[in-house]
Chain A
């Protein structure tokens, strides 16, 4: 086992969060090495995989599975990679390839609300963050410029500078929702997204392919693959198919090296001065737990015992209905607009806050399947597809879950192909969540009424969709006894170990977690640079 690589900064994981931290540090002159467990896949291959896939709605299907760097797959069959300990199934999706999971996302790049960081103080629930919104603001902006973010200025998150670009033109569906919901007191705002409305960063403007998920075919939407390219152009080096399985510390508790397997299970040791763990909210705690030593018997960075705990995501319930007019969902981005006013308020003491998201995904496949199942065929089928696909709508929420130490990621006793323990999740839904879902359902009913909705189909009570916003498992806090990292993302236990991940967010708020994780990671990178 020879030492083959060394760098000032070693980043474990090449997703958008780790890669943008790597980019920042490389641009400032550090030697940076990024280790990615999965393979490198080009966009053209992914686009062709998507077009050839019979399961257009399965956002994982275009992404190749590699046995040495496995990720959860649920269709056509559950590969059981993520071991479910219950009681509630937590079926997170993520992708282990160069660039990570933002290869497929709807580019939602929201800031949290200032109050999201203080829900314990304000509402007596959850926990407060060790930093304030103002600490994050400049890094949010830096992330927005890097990623090409636009959105409604009145989205509730204060900003010092305007968005780097205007939003993509409103789709007809968004326009009609906005107009028809206004008399009911609902303000429909354009979503905050990392999607080009104009040529930006040598990438073209969105031309409305409406398959943001599973793959934007023209890179109008920002993704982690672009972050990796930027990091490499700034001088960072990337090794793919490098599955990190152990982090090594010295007697002073400093991290000295990480060890990775290649697909043939040859082990390589990589040394560095500073380490950034950026392998997502499930794989990162797994790796810390795997790296237990004689001195750190419960895993690294885990003196608090909270590594892997407080697992959160955004569950959703939803309503599908038919509007009384043609809205033609499917033109423009898949997730263009939101109702934003239920993200904060005194009610948070009692039930979960949420954002209501208006879908603009094409309904043609779902409508067609339903009609075929009913036995409709021939010209009648064609006419009915047109009729229903033009009117079918769906709305859902993105709802805040509170941190609960019992919701957690641990190592299972099952192993992957390289012999590395697979992660096991324990997850449950609280009454706080159920009450929030009930409140959302009432809003859906009113919204459907305003849209002249018929054939209302609510998602079943107590069964929620998941949004793949893995949060909380590496929470930051000011106290080392109940958190994993400090306000700069630095481990309380290892002074040269930083964690860049959605996992460091102490609470989940009501918006997609990517932009916040990137901003936190850029702030960590700034801290690393300043203390180098």
Chain B
């Protein structure tokens, strides 16, 4: 206990020293710290639209239950959180309760933010009140289908899944590890995507960071298991991935992870990225018995398209085989043998190799399909990456044929892609069975009540 206190004091002391160094403009310092924390929390990712103003909300977030529209969290008194007190702000962040007492949907990762220290919540509060421009525009309200439109149902959900206690440092671990754990479990909310969910959509605490299907993209297992997770990654590789989203011979970020890096992790200081890497490297191994080798260890250079030359082409691309689809759509960047190109024009050209690439190494092949359908685009300022989207160029069958060719030769041959899977991912992914479950559950309850009522009624009927 003594050690824990010491570590915690050291952390607080460090923060205090930072703050006191510029005591004269402490207000500005707190705003800056709040801004840094808001970046670490990637608040902007959900609370802004691509074309909209910062933090003005309005992004419709596809969830298995329907679309949840993010709110305006600018200090606007009419449309945002300008009237929030620190206590109300804290309740929203840590408990998922709005100023008016209504419940937030857990698309807002308050189960993670519950870990935040009081100081950090306060800094965030001051930043959102003083450092953000007010926008007096109210986005559309979230309108989930019954029964999820009854927000109070979230209170019951919170009983099950909200552990409202702030982060408690582990005295047996280093300051760096504790900082990493605090960031990862709190603001960075890694588990929100990377921990599988139970049938009731709560994080499965028995399998932290074991990987989860997000409906479209797949958030891989990032536990320290050397086969199913990323135990084979070095600390330096992890920190580099968090900075650039790319480690040659391992992986590159796409989809939501690319956004997380561009909006958030890229802007953290190196110490915090190293701290995150330190913590993630120790995350309890979560092994999946189906995995036989690490996702980044599959495949090799293979030039299957050589055999195509001189062979007659099918009359149209719907009849192209995998090698022909690869040749026509992929080989011009990823090269005939799939090795990509590390350098072009004197800069890192980000034309990755397709073998030793986790996008093709997981048994869950969704990321491969999503990368083909949506492409991979990174934001300006970061490393330049633009893999074009092929959703309007390739049919479901073509994506499946191409993907299976890629998996067979460059990736995990046990992984497969079906045209039905592509169709589903193209449409936005599977919806949660929770909706059906909840509705069926409610119907059952009502039916039971009716039966009971009928039975009771019968009893009361006077006998003839």
A and B physically associate: yes
Q: How many whole Å from B343's CB to the nearest CB in chain A? A: 11
- Which chain B positions have C-beta within 8 A of A52? 308-311, 313
Residue A203, interface by CB 8 Å: yes
- Which chain A positions have C-beta within 8 A of B388? 202-204, 218-219
Tell me if A204 and B309 are in contact (CB < 8 A): no
Tell me if B327 and A48 are in contact (CB < 8 A): yes
Interface SS majority for chain B: mixed
- Which chain A positions have C-beta within 8 A of B460? none
Tell me if B344 and A207 are in contact (CB < 8 A): yes
A257-294: CB near B (< 8 Å → 1, else 0) gives 00000000000000000000000000000000000000
Residue B99, interface by CB 8 Å: no
Q: How many whole Å from B376's CB to the nearest CB in chain A? A: 10
Give the contacts of A20-49 with B (CB-CB under 8 A).
42-45, 47-49
Residue B387, interface by CB 8 Å: yes
Q: For the side of the interface on B, what is the size category?
A: 20 to 34
A215's closest neighbor in chain B, by CB?
B332
A51-B327 contact in complex given A203-B388, A204-B333, A205-B386, C-beta closer than 8 Å: yes
- Which chain B positions have C-beta within 8 A of A219? 388
| B346 interface neighbour in A44, A48, A169, Cβ under 8 Å | A169
Residue B200, interface by CB 8 Å: no
Tell me if B332 and A49 are in contact (CB < 8 A): no
- Which chain A positions have C-beta within 8 A of B313? 45, 48-49, 52
Residue B6, interface by CB 8 Å: no
B369-384: CB near A (< 8 Å → 1, else 0) gives 0000001010000001
Q: How many whole Å from A261's CB to the nearest CB in chain B? A: 23
A198-B308 contact in complex given A207-B351, A208-B344, C-beta closer than 8 Å: no
A207-B333 contact in complex given A44-B393, A45-B316, A45-B317, C-beta closer than 8 Å: yes
- Which chain B positions have C-beta within 8 A of A205? 345, 349, 384, 386
Q: For the side of the interface on A, what is the size category?
A: 20 to 34
Residue B328, interface by CB 8 Å: yes
Residue A164, interface by CB 8 Å: no
Per the bound structure, the CA–CA distance linking A197 and B347 in Å amounts to 12
- Which chain A positions have C-beta within 8 A of B329? 44, 47
Tell me if B324 and A218 are in contact (CB < 8 A): no
Residue A381, interface by CB 8 Å: no
- Which chain A positions have C-beta within 8 A of B389? 202
| B377 interface neighbour in A44, A199, A218, Cβ under 8 Å | A199
Q: How many whole Å from B259's CB to the nearest CB in chain A? A: 16
Give the contacts of B365-416 with A (CB-CB under 8 A).
375, 377, 384-389, 393
Residue A157, interface by CB 8 Å: no
- Which chain A positions have C-beta within 8 A of B347? 169
Per the bound structure, the CA–CA distance linking A213 and B175 in Å amounts to 59
Tell me if B332 and A217 are in contact (CB < 8 A): yes
Tell me if A45 and B328 are in contact (CB < 8 A): yes
Per the bound structure, the CA–CA distance linking A159 and B317 in Å amounts to 43
Give the contacts of B281-332 with A (CB-CB under 8 A).
308-311, 313, 316-317, 320, 324-325, 327-329, 332
A54's closest neighbor in chain B, by CB?
B310
- Which chain A positions have C-beta within 8 A of B327? 47-48, 51
| A203 interface neighbour in B310, B324, B386, Cβ under 8 Å | B386
Tell me if B345 and A169 are in contact (CB < 8 A): yes
Give the contacts of B326-364 with A (CB-CB under 8 A).
327-329, 332-333, 341, 344-347, 349, 351
- Which chain A positions have C-beta within 8 A of B320? 44, 48
Report which A residues bind B (CB closer than 8 A): 42-45, 47-49, 51-52, 168-169, 197-199, 202-205, 207-209, 217-219
Known A52-B310, A52-B311, A52-B313; 19 more pairs at CB < 8 Å = A42-B317, A42-B393, A43-B328, A44-B325, A45-B328, A51-B327, A52-B308, A197-B345, A199-B377, A199-B384, A202-B375, A204-B333, A204-B386, A205-B345, A207-B332, A207-B349, A208-B345, A209-B332, A217-B332
7 of the cross-chain contacts (CB-CB < 8 Å) are: A42-B393, A47-B328, A48-B324, A49-B313, A52-B311, A169-B345, A207-B341
Report which B residues bind A (CB closer than 8 A): 308-311, 313, 316-317, 320, 324-325, 327-329, 332-333, 341, 344-347, 349, 351, 375, 377, 384-389, 393
Name the 8 nearest CB pairs between A and B, nearest first.
A169-B345, A199-B386, A44-B328, A217-B332, A204-B386, A48-B328, A47-B328, A218-B332
